[in-house]
Amino acid sequence: MGRSSLFPVLNEGDIHMQDMVIPLYKNRGLTSHDCVNRIRRLYGVKKAGHTGTLDPEVEGVLPVCIGRATKIADYMTDTDKQYAAEITLGYATTTEDAEGTVTETRPVSKGPSETQLKDTLQSFEGKQKQIPPMYSAVKVNGKKLYEYAREGKTVERPARDIHIHELQYLGETLSKSTETVSFSIRVTCSKGTFIRTLAVDIGRALGFPAHMSDLKRTRSGPVDVQSCYTFEELEAKRDNDTLDETGLSIETALQHLPSVEVTKETADNIRNGRLLPREIGPKESSSFLFLHQNRAVAVYQTHPEKPWLIKPKTMLQLATQQTTSGNS
């Protein structure tokens, strides 16, 4: 793995060397919290936070924000995700993955054809409702669902809006064992989508109990597998005193937001948290990024009560902070 040419590398001329996003590839067996703590020690920072939980048994892309970049963690969490998953037909489990207890079985004597698979997967694309699984961290009445599940309780869960942008069968992955059939898919989806639940629903549409038997996150917002580092690679960078080469800038991490380059005068007003005329921001979005000399100054949003104005949403530079070159 390691940085692809897609992202610019931070260099000695850049300000705030520890205010960046680390494109981490999480290995199996680690919790997302474990990863944050390890990044904190590795980079010698106090502030760090991940951008979307991965279960311990799942591997893949887990961007970790450090320093001032922790302010943009929610913006990265809100981005679309991509996964490679394996679905197994033939039995279902309590947790909807391979870790749970078997709850239902139905031997697959004759599995679906590739054509049936492709047609079924296509039917799941688009906007839809999804009910989160009982074994999840979603809260109902102030309590996490998995806490109810461990008590042997099932509670009503409100359906959530999700968007499956693309759902593809990965060719030549259909395999059959004595009583089960497995195949792999690639899914690009909105945040909050449970791939485990999607696997169960796909199995039901094919006429069989099913579960998600494997999962890898291959992209999170602008960060893909090719641009990631494992902990072993990061530690090697530390030993070579090149850890600074591993981070993505705040500007790169927010490239999915509409952005506007502003003059020094406007940037100073933004740093002071001033309300500004709505026409300064792009018309197509209610939230957008202001830049000065290609540096992120703040995210602004349409004022909820005064739509002809825009107001600060997330300040990324203080009034005393200036870029190091030019006054345009």
Q: How far apart (Å, rounded) are the C-alpha atoms in residues 107 and 109?
A: 6
Place of tokens 């629903």: 201
pLDDT digits (tens, 9 = 90+) for 229-247: 999 999 999 999 999 899 9
- Which residues in the chain show pLDDT less than 70? 2-17, 319-328
Predicted pLDDT at 314: 96
Domain definitions of the chain by residue range? 20-79+221-253, 81-219, 259-315
Please name the residues in contact with 123: beta carbons below 8 A apart, sequence gap of 6 or more: 205
Catalytic residue among 19, 55, 97, 201: 55
Active-site annotation holds for 97: no
Distances in whole angstroms, Cα of residue 101 to Cα of each of 104, 197, 198, 208, 211: 9, 16, 18, 17, 11
CATH 3.40.830.10 fits 81-219, yes or no: no
Name 181's bridge partners: 89, 176
Predicted pLDDT at 283: 83
Q: Domain 20-79+221-253: give its CATH architecture.
A: 2-Layer Sandwich (3.30)
Q: How far apart (Å, rounded) are the C-alpha atoms in residues 156 and 230?
A: 39
Topology agreement, domain 20-79+221-253 and domain 81-219:
yes
Predicted pLDDT at 52: 87
pLDDT digits (tens, 9 = 90+) for 20-48: 999 999 999 999 999 999 999 999 999 99
pLDDT digits (tens, 9 = 90+) for 79-104: 999 999 999 999 999 999 999 999 99
Predicted pLDDT at 110: 87
Rounded (10°) CA dihedral 131, 136, 137, 139: 40
The domain made up of 259-315 has a fold known as 2.30.130
Do 180 and 108 meet the contact criterion of CB atoms below 8 Å apart?
yes
Predicted pLDDT at 322: 56
Q: How far apart (Å, rounded) are the C-alpha atoms in residues 208 and 104?
A: 10
Number of neighbours of residue 150 by Cβ within 10 angstroms: 11
* Beta pairing class for 259-261 and 287-292: parallel
Predicted pLDDT at 321: 57
Q: How far apart (Å, rounded) are the C-alpha atoms in residues 108 and 101?
A: 19
Distances in whole angstroms, Cα of residue 93 to Cα of each of 134, 151, 167, 179, 196: 11, 17, 23, 15, 10
